[in-house]
Amino acid sequence: MNTITAAITAVGAYVPDFVLTNKALEAMVDTNDEWITSRTGIKERRILKEEGKGTSFLAIKAAQNLLAKANIDPLEIDLLIMATATPDMPVASTGVYVATEIGATNAFAYDLQAACSSFLFGMSTAAAYIESGRYKKVLLIGADKMSSIVDYTDRSTCIIFGDGAGAVLFEPNYEGLGLQDEYLRSDGIGRDFLKIDAGGSINPTSLETVKENRHNIIQDGKTVFKYAVTNMADSSELILKRNNLTNEDVDWLVPHQANKRIIDATANRMNLEDSKVLMNIEKYGNTTSATLPLVLSDFEHLFKKGDTIILAAFGGGFTWGSIYLKWAYDKK
């Protein structure tokens, strides 16, 4: 029996229509376009403005885009994994709702949360299900409505985050393509540096927590930046060495889109030329769980069957890692 590997066979994406530019932010907080661009690489981000629509709306749109492009019957989906840091609501799984809404009623579904590394960790999980031989089609969606947890009077966070969703389909491959190796790590030391302070079991929602504005994301930017630069670069370099790959062997780097300086540091550690480093951070900002699949979707037209792709991410908690992937198809 041939060895089963887990390959990405289709991608989809969705971003809201509303564009929040750096110029618009200048009227909201003490900042300016030059400062934001020079420090983050972000020029604009998309925001889901419609009342009553949450992360599930973004995820459904991305999934529908994938299913339509690949001409796949949703009833064929065995499993849906929802990577998100901003679920629609506590307890009731966003992924379960998304699966039902797209017609994937033969699939079981659940949410996976590892902050900005959620999609990367989800890739590992989806691949394991495929490699087990029990499942044939696993839909992995990364989606976040970050605007729902951002304080737009806090210039340290509101300039960074945007809303969006991306999706990939994993299927069995017998040519040795797909996910080749992974290096995934976490460290609880990061718990206090990037978080939402209230609304969980330690500090449940109360009048006081609402009045004190403790339900939005906060971060110690300098500390997060330092850990992100070190760990994303280290993990990417390690996965190359472990697989006897050189910079010449790598066709594309798909990095988490949190900060252009972090991406540059990772690429420099890998000794990659700029043309191999894929970025769309200037258009979307940091969409957390959606950054990696949005990059895959935006640059799908460049990928060729057999291309070597390194994906890397870093997120709150802390969580981080890299994945070595062989691309499985040429775009039709």
Helix (H, G, I), strand (E, B) or coil at 82: strand
∠ CA 99-322-144, nearest 5°, is 35
DSSP 182-206: EEEEE-GGGGGTEEE-SSSSSS---
Residue from 65, 158, 216, 256 carrying the catalytic annotation: 256
3-state secondary structure of 69: helix
Is 215 annotated as catalytic?
no
Length of the chain, in residues: 332
| CA–CA gap between residue 252 and residue 274 (Å, rounded) | 10
CB–CB of 161/288 below 8 Å? yes
65, 216, 231, 286: which one is catalytic?
286
Q: CA-to-CA distance for 98 and 63, rounded, in angstroms?
A: 9
Active site residue 116: yes
Contact 256, 235 (CB under 8 A): no
Residue 247 designated active-site? no
Name the residue type at position 139: L
Check if the beta carbon of residue 325 is closer than 8 Å to that of residue 293. Answer: no
The 3-class SS string of 281-332 reads HHHHCECHHHHHHHHHHHCHHHCCCCCEEEEEEEECCCEEEEEEEECCCCCC
Q: Which of 22, 65, 116, 173 is catalytic?
A: 116
Which residues are the active-site residues?
A: 116, 256, 286
